[in-house]
Amino acid sequence: MIRGVIVMNDRGKPRLVKFYEFQPAEKQQELIRSIYRVLCSRAENVSNFVKVDSLFGQDVRLVYKTFATLYFVFIFDSSENELAMLDLMQVFVEALDKVFSNVCELDVVFNFNKVHTILDEFILGGQVLETNSSEVVKTVEEISKMERAANSIKVVPSIPGWQGR
């Protein structure tokens, strides 16, 4: 089972935090800080895996990857395969890239609701639901369309940027 997905920038600022088992806010912050410390201390050209049993308990591992200024982090237990998780992360970022057309950190910051939507299509309740980025993008676009349609009925002309993107 996947325990959590964290996206943070290279200065430790969380950009997306999702735990599939509820963690209270303070605990979340503590985990983010500890993970950031671990990731900072990792040299270049080393493996993408870290053992985090001291933070999450027996046999819990973490896969991370940096994309420009962002760390993508998946935390999961022994029922998942490390390399597969790494690829899932890749697929996730691919989907982000397709949805935001050349995604950058600011896209993730300002549209984290949309990033959540995308993530929810990949992972549901800690289990991998979908592994094809095109499928996810299709669904997400459908959702956006529906949202926009619903929005246009409501007519809120004063706020032009509301449709989300």
Partner 1 sequence: MSSQGGFGQSKEFLDLIKSIGEARSKAEEDRIVLREIDTLKARLSSPNITKFKLKEYLMRLIYVEMLGHDASFGYIHAVKMTHDESLLLKRTGYLAVTLFLNEDHDLIILIVNTIQKDLRSDNYLVVCAALNAVCRLINEETIPAVLPQVVELLGHQKEAVRKKAVMALHRFYQRAPGSVSHLISNFRKRLCDNDPGVMAATLCPLFDLITIDVNSFKDLVVSFVNILKQVAERRLPKSYDYHQMPAPFIQIKLLKILSLLGNGDKKSSEQMYTILGDIMRKCDSASNIGNAVLYECICCVCSIHPNPKLLESAADTISKFLKGDSHNLKYLGIDALGLLIRISPEIAEQHQLAVIDCLEDPDDTLKRKTFDLLYKMTKSSNVEVIVDRMIDYMISINDHHYKTEIASRCVELAEQFAPSNQWFIQTMNKVFEHAGDLVNTKVAHNLMRLIAEGFGEDDNTADSQLRSSAVESYLRIIGEPKLPSTFLQVICWVLGEYGTADGKYSASYITGKLCDAAEAHSTDDTVKAYAVTALMKIYSFEIAAGRKVDMLPECQSLVEELLASHSTDLQQRAYELQAIICLDAHAVENIMPMDANCEDIEIDKNLSFLDAYVQESLEKGAQPYIPEDERSGLSNISNFRSQDHESSIHALRFEAYELPKFPVPPKAPSILSSSVELVPVPEPSYVADVHQPATSALTVSNSGSSELKLRLDGVQKKWGRPAFSSTTPSTSSGDTFESNNGTTRHESISSTKSKVHDVSYDSRKLQPEISTEKQKLAASLFGGASKSDRKQSYTGQKVSKTNSHGADKSNLAKVASSSDNAAVIPTSQPPPDLLDLGEPSVTSSAPSVDPFKQLEGLLDPTQDTTKLSSGGVGVPNAPDIMSLYADMSLSGQSTTVANPPPNAIKTHLAKQPSKGPNVQEFLEKDALVRQVGVTPSGQNPNLFKDLLG
Positions in 85-104 near partner 1 (CB under 8 A): 86-88, 90-91, 93-94, 97, 100-104
Cα–Cα distance between 46 and 36 in angstroms, integer? 16
Number of residues counted as binding partner 1 (CB under 8 A): 88
Backbone angles phi, psi at 119, to 5 degrees: -65, -40
For partner 1, the binding residue among 3, 4, 5, 17 (CB under 8 A) is: 17
Applying CB under 8 A, which of residues 4, 36, 60, 117 lies at the interface with partner 1? 117
Q: Is 5 in the site for partner 1 (CB under 8 A)?
A: no
Please, which of residues 44-83 interact with partner 1 by CB under 8 A?
A: 44-51, 53-54, 65-70, 79, 81-83
> Which one among 36, 105, 137, 157 touches partner 1, defined by CB under 8 A?
105
User: What is the Cα–Cα distance from 31 to 1, expressed in whole angstroms?
Assistant: 18
Map tokens 């956006």 to a residue.
144
The SS3 assignment for 143 reads helix
Give the number of other CB atoms < 10 A from CB of residue 102.
Answer: 8
